[in-house]
Amino acid sequence: MDIKKIYEDANALLEGHFKLSSGNHSQFYLQSAKVLENPKTAKLLADELAKEIKSSGIDIDTVCSPALGGVIAGFVLATALDKRSIFTERVQGEMTLRRGFEIKKGERVLICEDIITTGGSALEAANVIESLGGEVVGFAALANRGFCKREGSDTKAKPNCKLPKNKPFFALADFSFEIYTPDECPMCKEGSEAVKPGSRGN
């Protein structure tokens, strides 16, 4: 499966001059919502990811996603795995489990995101599950930004990866591209202004 082509065809791999949520700048941005707006494509990706997870042999009861970005990816993955689908969400900045969702003691939970960059939100969701007595058995995402090491990839995790090293991380592909601090951004040096993805129609 050529996931890069799927992202390109869905106009989900944006090229420009972007200001990321971390404050850093990048020439590229992945807009996974654009890939998932087509339910058939979403199913195709989830089936492929589910195949990889099943073949690893890990036992899962539930898929949990951090809202908002991970919710659709988590739901389609849970559908493909035939497991329960829940999500955590931020309340005044703090990740929580709401809406009547419950975790049983020892329930085996896979945390699913659309994209893992450093894995910060995924780790917060995992901490919520574990604080409620669940067991986080692994992490999954459609795409990996190349800071964390996914199963089957020979690239190494970078120091800013927040995912625990002792748990598997499944993703369909690595999308590694440079990020720059504003001071060293070559596009800023050329005089262009970074835009926040999601603004100006992207």
The residues of the shown chain that bind Zn ion, judged by CB under 5 A, are 25, 185, 187-188, 194
Q: Look up residue 138 and give its amino acid.
A: G
Using CA atoms, how far apart are residues 35 and 150, in angstroms rounded to an integer? 20
Shortest distance in whole angstroms from residue 187 CB to Zn ion: 4
Shortest distance in whole angstroms from residue 146 CB to Zn ion: 19
Using CA atoms, how far apart are residues 195 and 42, in angstroms rounded to an integer? 27
Tell me whether residue 160 or residue 181 sits nearer to Zn ion (CB atom).
Answer: 181
Shortest distance in whole angstroms from residue 188 CB to Zn ion: 4
Tell me whether residue 25 or residue 150 sits nearer to Zn ion (CB atom).
Answer: 25
Contact 126, 139 (CB under 8 A): yes
Q: How many CB atoms lie within 10 A of CB 76?
A: 25
Question: How deeply is 195 buried, as exposed, middle or buried, from its count of CB atoms within 10 A (0-12, 13-18, 19+)?
Answer: middle
Tell me whether residue 20 or residue 67 sits nearer to Zn ion (CB atom).
Answer: 20
Shortest distance in whole angstroms from residue 168 CB to Zn ion: 35
Shortest distance in whole angstroms from residue 17 CB to Zn ion: 6
Burial 9-26 (b: 16+ CB within 10 A, else e): ebebbbeebbbbeeebbb
Tell me whether residue 148 or residue 179 sits nearer to Zn ion (CB atom).
Answer: 179
Tell me whether residue 67 or residue 187 sits nearer to Zn ion (CB atom).
Answer: 187
The residue number whose beta carbon is nearest to Zn ion equals: 185
